[in-house]
């Protein structure tokens, strides 16, 4: 699909990669609806779009992807705000890292990953992506919109990463469902692809433990942390290449976790 023809939702659009995708798409002529729980960040995304010369191309509204009612209302609003809907980038994600089970070296106390940590990550990173994919594709069918395209933002962590049972489970499931959904939605003219970033410079990674961050960067063969623009290039490919479907692209600088 041509970027200028897109009427696209981006979740997690208040900062980081989501904001970068929104600005790039708007600059290319797309209509973009961004959602996030961070309303201050959403306002900043709108302001940035105006400064970049894409005023009126970006629409923003609060969105909690883990809420079924919120998702339904957002999809309906986005369709009206943009005058249609033919694409989605599932970018919203959070981290609540922790070992599944650990033992304190000094006290011997055994601690476990809480159900709250598990539920929070699965709720946003997997359930949220599933709910909004379902409702976006349903809206496309209701309005006889085709073609359409969905881009899931997975992660190199889907291969397994210490201390990220919840995040790994969610991102692995997104990659697997990229295949599932591509097969289910093919009769409707909707493609589904995924991009799996490695370590990218975003507010999320900037909040990491510095020692862990330094060790990860040192393990990246290309010798640097990734930038949102690196991931945008892959997202752009998935959006534009009508022969790409049901696959996940790793964009990780060669990093293996």
- Structural domain of residue 19, as residue ranges? 3-250
Could you read off the pLDDT of 67-87 as tens digits, one per residue? 999 999 999 999 999 999 999
pLDDT of residue 257: 64
Helix (H) or strand (E) holding 204: helix 203-206
Q: For residue 144, is it within any domain?
A: yes
Q: On the CB side of 61, how many CA atoms lie within 13 Å of its CA?
A: 19
Q: What is the mean pLDDT of residues 220-247?
A: 97
Query: 25: closest CA among 235, 244, 241, 247?
Result: 235
Q: For residue 256, is it within any domain?
A: no
SS3 string, 216-237, reads: HHHCCCCCCCECHHHHHHHHHH
Question: Which one of 167, 181, 185, 232 is the catalytic residue?
Answer: 167
Q: For residue 21, is it within any domain?
A: yes
Average pLDDT, the chain: 95
pLDDT of residue 135: 98
**Number of domains into which the chain is organized:** 1
Report CA dihedral (134, 139, 141, 145) to the nearest 10 degrees: -120
147 three-state secondary structure: coil
- Its pTM stands at 0.93
DSSP bridge partners of 7: 31
Q: For residue 255, is it within any domain?
A: no
Could you read off the pLDDT of 130-167 as tens digits, one per residue? 999 999 999 999 999 999 999 999 999 999 999 999 99
Q: For residue 257, is it within any domain?
A: no
Q: For residue 242, is it within any domain?
A: yes
The CATH number linked to 91 is: 3.40.50.720
Confirm whether 243 is a catalytic residue. no
């Amino acid at each position: 699909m041509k970027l200028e023809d897109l009427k696209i939702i981006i979740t997690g659009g208040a900062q980081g990669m989501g904001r970068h995708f929104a600005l790039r798409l708007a600059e290319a002529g797309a209509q973009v609806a961004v959602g996030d729980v961070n309303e201050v960040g959403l306002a900043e995304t709108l302001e940035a779009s105006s400064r970049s010369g894409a005023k009126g191309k970006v629409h923003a509204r609060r969105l909690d992807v883990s809420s079924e009612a919120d998702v339904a209302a957002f999809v309906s609003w986005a369709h009206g705000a943009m005058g249609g809907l033919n694409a989605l980038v599932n970018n919203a994600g959070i981290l609540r890292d922790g070992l599944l089970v650990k033992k304190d070296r000094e006290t011997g106390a055994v601690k476990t990953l809480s159900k709250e940590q598990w539920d929070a990550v699965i709720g946003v990173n997997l359930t949220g992506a599933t709910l909004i994919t379902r409702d976006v594709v349903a809206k496309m069918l209701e309005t006889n919109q085709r073609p359409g395209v969905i881009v899931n933002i997975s992660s190199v962590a889907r291969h397994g990463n210490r201390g990220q049972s919840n995040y790994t489970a969610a991102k692995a499931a997104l990659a697997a469902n990229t295949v599932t959904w591509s097969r289910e939605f093919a009769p409707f003219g909707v493609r589904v692809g995924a991009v799996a970033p490695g370590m990218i410079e975003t507010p999320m990674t900037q909040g990491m433990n510095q020692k862990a961050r330094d060790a990860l960067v040192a393990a990246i063969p290309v010798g640097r942390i990734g930038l949102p623009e690196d991931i945008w290039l892959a997202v752009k490919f998935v959006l534009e290449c009508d022969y790409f479907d049901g696959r996940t692209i790793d964009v990780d600088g060669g990093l293996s976790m």
